[in-house]
Amino acid sequence: MLEIINAQKTFLKGTPNEHQALKNLSLTLEDGDFTTIVGSNGAGKSTLFGAVCGNFMLDAGGVILDRKDIIFMPEHKRARMIGRVFQDPMKGTAPHMTIEENLALAYSRNRKNPLGFAIRKKDSDMFREYLSRFSMGLEDRMDAKVGLLSGGQRQVVTLLMCTMVAPKLLLLDEHTAALDPATAEKVMNITKEIVAEQKLTTMMITHNLKSALTTGNRLLMLDSGEIILDVKGEEKDKLTLDGIMKLYSQKKKKELDNDRMLLN
């Protein structure tokens, strides 16, 4: 379970560029919740993830993960509990290392007593088996340097690195946005498969409203550092693109500015 309590964050305080990115934001995710997050550019979506991962200190508020207060836990320690995939396929993997080495590194990080960096045959077989499930042919390229892979293939490797040992929380920050539509769909399907299989508590930021509507059991909309929409379960299942736009205009007394929000 994740609990964010009255999170507040202002960047560049006391300067002309001062910006309140999170305004007293509270959110509770139940175990196994798969929440999609939408909102315009600058709404505070990535900042919310940054607050959970400990990229910066909040000005006020708390974060509880798996019943632990993690507000003073350093970023690298939180990273052991939280898997995060970014929009940029270049992030998350080491390009000069092979697929197998990347997976082994991620796997050893999660072990209680890491046995150095030697890749054991047993592990190697497990990585191959795991990769083969995603029908991308990656299991036959375990010796290939990750830097040579396509963006979609790299995102899948990153996703596997984050989830091979189930994280307490999975954070996806527009992780398919840099991919062509067919690859994006494939990576989304793999994502859904992994999340469902491991029942991972997940938050996924997307600008694709349709994808936000058809994925997960809950949908949040952020606007100027606040949650302005929170629909779950059946209510979410029934929600349509029109519905979401209506709810937005009721709330904000203006039309939804779909700058980067893709409507289909």
Residue ranges that bind ligand ATP, judged by CB under 6 A: 11-12, 19, 21, 39, 41-47
Length of the chain in terms of residues written: 264
User: Of Mg ion, ligand ATP, none, which one sits near residue 206, judging by CB under 5 to 8 A according to partner kind?
Assistant: none
**Among 45-53, 74-82, 190-198, 251-259, the segment contacting Mg ion (CB under 5 A):** 45-53
Which helix (H) or strand (E) segment holds residue 227: the answer is strand 226-232
Q: Chain centroid to CA 179: how far?
A: 16
User: Of ligand ATP, Mg ion, none, which one sits near residue 42, judging by CB under 5 to 8 A according to partner kind?
Assistant: ligand ATP
Which helix (H) or strand (E) segment holds residue 111: the answer is none
- Amino acid making up residue 81: M
- Amino acid making up residue 132: S
Closest residue to Mg ion in the complex (CB): 46
Among 36, 40, 46, 215, binds Mg ion (CB under 5 A): 46
| Rounded least distance, CB 205 to ligand ATP, Å | 7
Q: What SS3 state is found at 212?
A: helix
| Rounded least distance, CB 109 to ligand ATP, Å | 26
| Rounded least distance, CB 182 to Mg ion, Å | 24
Alpha helices, DSSP H only, in the chain? 45-53, 75-78, 99-110, 121-132, 151-163, 181-198, 209-214, 233-238, 241-252
| Rounded least distance, CB 181 to ligand ATP, Å | 19
Restricting to residues 146-185, name those near Mg ion by CB under 5 A. Answer: none
| Nearest of 22, 7, 17, 12 to residue 223 by alpha carbon | 22
Q: Which is nearer to Mg ion, 46 or 183 (CB)?
A: 46
Kindly list the residues in this chain that would bind Mg ion in the complex (CB under 5 A).
Answer: 45-46
